[in-house]
């Protein structure tokens, strides 16, 4: 990921609804959610949700798959990994053991 791609991702996540959508899709896991389910969960109208999902798609943070007449959305784990790698590439001044604290705090906890 280059600087412009990272800026696009951060710009997409800088809006409250889009950040909520992204976090919801991360929580949904491999099942994803259709646009109606996302809108209902967040109390967002369909046209507003479509616009926000489009921004997240263009930023590479979300992917979609057609399912009959509807579209299912998923967090794009490749794009998410690329963004996190961009952020952490030079982390901790060459002392990876310091980064372990960051990863412990964010990895798959319930």
Domain chopping of the chain, boundaries: 3-106
**Cα separation of 12 and 55, whole Å?**
6
Burial pattern 42-66, b for ≥16 Cβ within 10 A else e, equals eebeeeebeebbebbbebbbbbbee
pLDDT score recorded for residue 60: 97
- Domain range 3-106, CATH architecture: Orthogonal Bundle (1.10)
Q: What is the pLDDT of residues 22-70, one digit of tens each?
A: 999 999 999 999 999 999 999 999 999 999 999 999 999 999 999 999 9
Locate tokens 């980064």: which residue? 99
**Cα separation of 8 and 50, whole Å?**
18
pTM, two decimal places: 0.87
């Amino acid at each position: 990921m280059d600087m412009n791609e990272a800026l696009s991702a951060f710009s997409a996540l800088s809006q409250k609804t889009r950040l909520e959508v992204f976090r919801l899709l991360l929580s949904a896991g491999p099942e994803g959610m259709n646009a109606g389910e996302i809108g209902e969960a967040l109390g967002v109208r369909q046209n507003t949700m479509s616009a926000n999902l489009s921004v997240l798609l263009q930023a590479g943070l979300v992917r979609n798959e057609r399912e009959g007449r509807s579209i299912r959305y998923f967090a794009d784990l490749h794009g998410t990994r690329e963004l996190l790698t961009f952020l952490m590439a030079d982390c901790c001044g060459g002392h990876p053991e310091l980064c372990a604290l960051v990863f412990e705090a964010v990895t798959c906890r319930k």
